[in-house]
A and B are shown apart, each in its own frame.
Chain A
Amino acid sequence: MKTYEEINKKIQSGKAVVLTADEIMDYVDDKGLDQAAAEVDVVTTGTFGPMCSSGCFLNFGHTKPKMRMTEAWIDDVMAYAGIAAVDVFLGATQLQHNDPANTYYPGDFSFGGGHVMEKLVAGEELQLFALSYGTDEYPLKELRTYFTIDDLDQAIMTNPRNCYQNYNVAINCSDKPIYTYLGELKSNMKNLTYCSAGQLSPLLNDPLYRTIGVGTSVWLAGDRGHVYSEGTQHGSDCLRGDNNVPMEGAGTLALTGDMKKMNSDFVRGVSLKGYGVSLALGVGIPIPILDREVLRHCTVRDSEIFAEVIDYASAYPERRGDIVGRLSYAQLRSGSVDLKGKKVKTGSLSSYSKALEISELLKDEIKRGDFLLSQPSQRLPVKQGTTPLDVRAQGETS
């Protein structure tokens, strides 16, 4: 048994034993669980993929004369201005003004909120256009100016849902191609898309949220951010395998961090043909090896993590529960799988190579003593379901 304090002392003295989630698997096989649990202090995890429920609060500072922005666009992407005077919230999936969307199906969606966030973090110049109705103390009614992230007082990334514990594998059982948030799916099950870092993914290495909770410090695109809440749609009461690893979506994290300190290699705008725009984000989370059980969960391999294959042409849009099959991430990463007697090519939207890079960067920071662990102030709910939305008439009760 180790405590957070003991592990942090070792980190500060430069003596902490830190391994990535990739390295720990063979290490435990070699040394055995008990010896490894005594030796290893931290296992670093990582993930990089589209995380649509991401965005940022920006504070522009005041113009002269002052303005209470009521509508605002950054590089022609609308930001929500229904908060205090010069604060706005920009969401990752917001389209650019005049984007034809799917009018000419499938649309290209070449630029949107996620791309604005990437440009901000990269230090590029952006255009702000804002309107107001004008008040006695905020008389300015229209504004067009140019800025970079350095001109802002704050740029706080605030993401209600990141790091999905596991994710659907999308396939198309219909006879027409479809365009989804998991990419283009060819007709008649010719290809499928999965989206998880699998054995490197934070919540798959801590399936019961023993160390990752509200208040946990995380590596968020190169900055030290933290978990501020359970994520939206956190559905921990799910189907789990023998090793407690969820076989479906399950838990999520709400993350926040300072965009001024982030690295744009890990904040990337995403365009998905026929679907829309999003943001791909890099997250790394350190897992303190408090005891043998925490370490055991970190040894999970792609061959032991399963995801459900779902038909995105009918079962998914119609909110049905039927699945086409279950596949392990080892099978998914092999390039092709056999499913219902068909050979199906596999593709990923989550970048394993970037996840590995993140787990190594975080490991280096911890070994240098630059990243201390924080004990969560609150555990994430372990038995919590999600509720579907039923459409009903006014006054009708379900």
Chain B
Amino acid sequence: MNTAEQITRRVILAYPKFISGQPIITGLVREYDLEVNIYRASVTPNEEGYIALDITGDEEQIQDGLEFIKSFQIDVNLTMNSMLWDENKCAGCGNCVPHCPTNALHVIDDRSRKIDFSRDRCIECLKCIQNCPFGACSTIF
């Protein structure tokens, strides 16, 4: 059993047109012993595609796995979710809150009642996009 500290990274993979059809996620599981949790995927032959997923394993396994992915010319983004929340467009109404199943979008405190977004909790269900009256939520795919 792997005793190294297990960490989870949110990863957005951007597939170039020519790569779809390769069993890349399977490789992460079989070759690098990583646990993957795919939130959303849109990978179609002859089109650019995206996968939003969490990868869990120890730091070294994750780094090796990401290098493996990059070897297919896939762009790896570790700094964002595919769901984007624009704080400047958010009017703070809170209409999104009951529609967000994981409380990623939540009221900060009872006094100011401002809204904040915790990207780690977001499972990219995209319910917020159709429920934001002000267009503050969007997705890259």
- Name A's B-contacting residues (CB within 8 A): 48-50, 108, 110, 183-184, 191-193, 268-273, 278, 280, 333, 335, 345-354, 356
Q: B5 within 8 Å of A by Cβ?
A: no
A184 to B135, CA, bound (A): 15
- Name B's A-contacting residues (CB within 8 A): 91-99, 107, 110, 112-115, 130-131, 133-135
A49 to B112, CA, bound (A): 16
Tell me the interface secondary structure of chain B in the complex. loop
A102 to B31, CA, bound (A): 49
Asked if A191 contacts B107 (CB within 8 A), the reply is no
Asked if A280 contacts B113 (CB within 8 A), the reply is no
A220 to B99, CA, bound (A): 31
A-B interface pairs (CB < 8 A), number = 68
Asked if A353 contacts B112 (CB within 8 A), the reply is yes
Q: Decide yes or no: A191 and B94 within 8 Å by CB, A184-B130, A335-B107, A356-B112 being known contacts.
A: no
Asked if A352 contacts B91 (CB within 8 A), the reply is no
A280 to B136, CA, bound (A): 14
Residues of A within 8 A of B94 (CB): 347-348, 351-352
Q: Decide yes or no: A353 and B135 within 8 Å by CB, A184-B99, A345-B98 being known contacts.
A: no
**Chain B residue nearest in CB terms to A49:** B93
A278 to B131, CA, bound (A): 14
Asked if B99 contacts A191 (CB within 8 A), the reply is yes
Q: List 26 A-B contacts (CB under 8 A).
A: A48-B91, A49-B93, A183-B95, A191-B99, A192-B98, A268-B134, A270-B133, A280-B133, A280-B134, A335-B97, A335-B107, A345-B97, A347-B94, A347-B97, A347-B99, A348-B95, A350-B93, A351-B91, A351-B93, A351-B94, A351-B113, A352-B94, A352-B113, A353-B114, A353-B115, A354-B92
Kindly provide the distance from the CB of B112 to the nearest chain A CB, expressed in whole angstroms.
5
Asked if A271 contacts B98 (CB within 8 A), the reply is no
Residues of B within 8 A of A353 (CB): 92, 112-115
Pick the residue among B95, B112, B115, B130 that contacts A349 (CB under 8 A): B95
